[in-house]
Amino acid sequence: MSDFFSEDQVEAIAKALGDTNLGLSNTEIDTLLQQSRIHDDHGPGTKWQRLRMNMWNQQVRDGHRLSILAFIRKSMKPARYIQNPEKFLALKHNLNIALAFCGMEVDDTGTLSLTNKIHTLSEAERRANELREDLSLRKIHEDVLSFCKSEYLADDYFHAVLEAVKSVFDKMRRLSGIDKDGSELIDACFCGKAPLLFINAHSTETERMEQRGFSSLLKGIYGTFRNPTAHEARIKWPMTKEDAEDIYQ
């Protein structure tokens, strides 16, 4: 393992952790810099620029990258996000894209570990193109194909699947006008005597059973991929391209 992050790697990590919408707040950065023993030179600029400068300067002073690793570990402790688990998932996703080029990743327990290293952006793009081509041959809906993106696949195929599943529930909310999630949303859209959304004519018992079965499938998908409390399976399930293709279909 290298003792140093390159300047490009530090910048990518800083941009992930200091993202304007999904990253750490200035107050959180204050606390984490102090806890990680990274001297805060402040200075002008955005949150990520502040992180980049301080992380790089501390690494140079120390002669190693341990303070940056400490900052990552402390910032990704799941207990910090009990009130906002979605923020943890979004932050972890962005951070893992940056860390993929360092041969590292953060899992759902917040543990930092070694993984296969991505060397080029073209490698991530190649993954996206291969998945998109294979899914096109299976005649997968265009809505799903839109989630075959290099930024999702720089980490692994799991995140492409996760984003696609999230899009299904977003579409259900748009079509129904119901601001719910999970089982509540599925039941409101597809269940009961007068569902809001239909997958068939819903005029025969067979068609009604088919609709109920479809709602059960959606609940299974949500429990496996969408629900933050179910993400422990990610640690034990390295997703392959073939897995992703089967789930998409």
pLDDT tens digit sequence for 130-173: 666 676 767 777 776 666 665 556 656 677 777 778 888 888 89
Question: Is 135 in the same domain as 110?
Answer: no
- Which structural domain, as residue segments, surrounds residue 175? 121-248
Question: Is 98 in the same domain as 142?
Answer: no
Question: Is 129 in the same domain as 61?
Answer: no
Question: Is 21 in the same domain as 58?
Answer: yes
Residue 154 forms part of a structural domain: yes
DSSP 29-94: HHHHHHHTT------SS-HHHHHHHHHHHHHHHHTSSHHHHHHHHHHT-GGGGTT-HHHHHHHHHH
Residue 180 forms part of a structural domain: yes
Residue 2 forms part of a structural domain: no
18 and 45 Cβ atoms separated by less than 8 Å: no
Please, which pLDDT band fits residue 235 given cuts at 50, 70 and 90?
A: very low
Identity of the residue numbered 41: D
Question: Is 144 in the same domain as 101?
Answer: no
Residue 1 forms part of a structural domain: no
Instruction: State the Cα–Cα distance between residues 59 and 12, nearest whole angstrom.
Output: 15
87 and 16 Cβ atoms separated by less than 8 Å: no
Taking only the tens place, the pLDDT of each residue in 185-228 is 999 899 888 888 888 888 898 988 998 898 998 888 887 776 54
Please, which pLDDT band fits residue 68 given cuts at 50, 70 and 90?
A: very high
Between 231 and 128, residue with greater pLDDT: 128
Tell which of 57, 83, 114 closes a domain.
Answer: 114
Question: Is 133 in the same domain as 170?
Answer: yes
Question: Is 162 in the same domain as 232?
Answer: yes
Given this model, what pLDDT does residue 156 score? 62
Element (H, E) at 189: helix 182-190
Q: What is the value of pTM for the model shown?
A: 0.55
Question: Is 133 in the same domain as 98?
Answer: no
The mean pLDDT value for 3-28 works out to 92
Instruction: State the Cα–Cα distance between residues 94 and 114, nearest whole angstrom.
Output: 17
Query: What one-character DSSP code corresponds to residue 228?
Result: G
79 contacts: CB under 8 Å, gap ≥ 6: none
- Residue 78 pLDDT exceeds 80: yes
Work out how many domains the chain is built from and give that number: 2
Q: Whats the size of the chain, residue-wise?
A: 249
Burial zone of 167 (CB within 10 Å; 0-12 exposed, 13-18 middle, 19+ buried) = middle
Instruction: State the Cα–Cα distance between residues 67 and 32, nearest whole angstrom.
Output: 11
Residue 244 forms part of a structural domain: yes
Residue % of the chain over a pLDDT of 70: 76
Question: Is 82 in the same domain as 19?
Answer: yes
Identity of the residue numbered 30: D
